[in-house]
Amino acid sequence: MVGALLGAAVEPAHGTAQSAGEANCLNCGSPLGGPYCAACGQKAHVHRTLSAIWNDIPHSVLHFDGKLWRTLPMLLFRPGELTRRYVHGERARFVSPMALFLFSIFLMFAVFSFIGGPFASEAPSTGSPVEEAKQLDAEIAVTKEQIADPEVPEAVKLGLQAKLNELKADRNGIAFVQTGKVLYPEAEIRNGSVQGANILLFEGASTGIAWLDGAIRKGGEKMIANPSLAFYKLQSNGYKFAWLLIPLSLPFVWLATLGVKGHRFYDHAIFATYSIGFMCLLFLVLALLFRLGVPDSILTAAFVLIPPAHLYRQLRHAYRLIRQSAIIRLIILSFFIWMVLILFSLTLLLLGMLG
């Protein structure tokens, strides 16, 4: 106390709320008695400089105040304890499961947009989308000239036409990502086999709702006519509607933990959100390692072994289960996870048709 008074006497402009020139909190108006507001927690001294913006970015996005570095190791090695401690009230210590989930989805979108997608067989593109578009336009022009050349045999032209269809589909994909529109309508790249597939797959489909049947049939025809564009749309919807994995998982987590007392649906939601966030980060890391040339055998082993091992540890310690019970519930939950993924994929497919 004496030291604080002595410090205030020597440097009266530091260490107190009055250093900000304000007696009340600028956020809620409560009287200030220190460097932070006792009512809302805002700092007494606020900055109005450009450097403050750059300082806020890592703090707000990545929680460099310590939350991220406390959360990630526990999510990796002690997910069950992390889930249980967050459920039972330790909220300020860790990054919230929803914030971690949204951050992992954003990171996946950013990285996959740069490397061209997860586990793609081709090498990552070194050029920008604009350069790729120019290259495709040039290839399309050359291929059209070859098709129009009367000296080219008809058998060769059939192969060139198939190549042209693929080039147009790839160009449509880039154009859709950039502008939301396509350069080549479906009629220009549709052929008889595609029309036959349309009739085979969608003509007999019926849900009993006329407008829905028409929308599904029309959307399915577009997807078959331009599969590359359909893939881009599905991928885009996957990022937008990834949050659907959480409500889809809730009833299955509840069923898998049926009989375990003292837990509510909130607890299951925290469990599912942390687990999905970890799986997204794992998938991202494996995709990056694939791009770096790590052997497929190692990546396959990691993809097969890490998720169930992590889920077992989270399930056992979050719900305080004995080993045998955790193993049985893990097997049940693993089966349910495939059901959730199928439901999610069907939802994306339906949204792609309707969109």
Between 14 and 80, residue with greater pLDDT:
80
The tokens for 97 are 């499961």
- Residue count of the chain, please give it: 355
- In one-letter notation, the amino acid at residue 239 is Y
Cα 187 versus chain centre, distance: 33
Query: Of the spans 80-89, 148-157, 287-296, which averages the highest pLDDT?
Result: 80-89
pLDDT (mean) for 237-260: 91
Residues 131, 132, 136, 137, CA torsion sign: negative
Could you tell me if 340 and 245 are in contact, meaning their C-beta atoms sit under 8 angstroms apart?
yes
Between 147 and 275, residue with greater pLDDT:
275
Listed in sequence order, the residues at least 6 apart from 78 whose beta carbon sits closer than 8 Å to its beta carbon are 313, 317
CB-side neighbour CA atoms (13 Å) of 247: 5
Cα separation, 333 vs 253, whole angstroms: 7
Range with the poorest average pLDDT among 27-36, 86-95, 224-233, 339-348: 224-233
> Which backbone phi and psi does 202 adopt, to 5 degrees?
-120, -15
What proportion of the chain, given as a percentage, has pLDDT over 90?
Answer: 32
The tokens for 341 are 């993924």
Residue-wise over 19-38: b if at least 16 C-beta within 10 A, else e?
ebeeeebeeeeeebeeeebe
List the one residue out of 58, 60, 64, 23 whose CA is nearest residue 44. 23
Cα separation, 318 vs 83, whole angstroms: 6
The tokens for 159 are 């192969």
Residue identified by tokens 């991928």 is: 235
Residue 2 has a pLDDT of: 45
- Treating both helix axes as pointing N-terminal to C-terminal, what angle do 67-77 and 79-87 enclose, rounded to 10 degrees? 130
Place 82 in a pLDDT band, splitting at 50, 70 and 90. Answer: very high
Q: What is the CA radius of gyration of the chain?
A: 28
Statement: residue 190 has pLDDT above 60: no
Between 111 and 245, residue with greater pLDDT:
245
Residue 70 has a pLDDT of: 87
Statement: residue 57 has pLDDT above 50: yes
**What would you measure as the largest C-alpha separation in the chain, in angstroms?**
99
Cα separation, 157 vs 145, whole angstroms: 11
Place 91 in a pLDDT band, splitting at 50, 70 and 90. Answer: confident
- In one-letter notation, the amino acid at residue 90 is E
Strand partners, 36: 43
Range with the poorest average pLDDT among 83-92, 206-215, 276-285: 206-215
What string of DSSP letters covers 195-246?
A: HHHHHHHHSS---S-HHHHHHHHHHHHHHHH-HHHHHHHHHHHHHHTGGGHH
Between 221 and 150, residue with greater pLDDT:
150
pLDDT (mean) for 38-49: 79
Query: Of the spans 131-140, 185-194, 254-263, which averages the highest pLDDT?
Result: 254-263
Between 305 and 124, residue with greater pLDDT:
305
List the one residue out of 299, 298, 292 whose CA is nearest residue 124. 292
If you average pLDDT over every residue of the chain, what do you get? 77
Could you tell me if 270 and 97 are in contact, meaning their C-beta atoms sit under 8 angstroms apart?
yes
Cα separation, 49 vs 21, whole angstroms: 16
Q: What is the pLDDT of residues 158-184, one digit of tens each?
A: 778 878 877 887 777 667 656 656 677
The tokens for 168 are 């147009």
Listed in sequence order, the residues at least 6 apart from 287 whose beta carbon sits closer than 8 Å to its beta carbon are 111, 112, 115, 118, 119
Residue 194, classified by CB atoms within 10 Å of its CB into exposed (0-12), middle (13-18) or buried (19+), is: middle
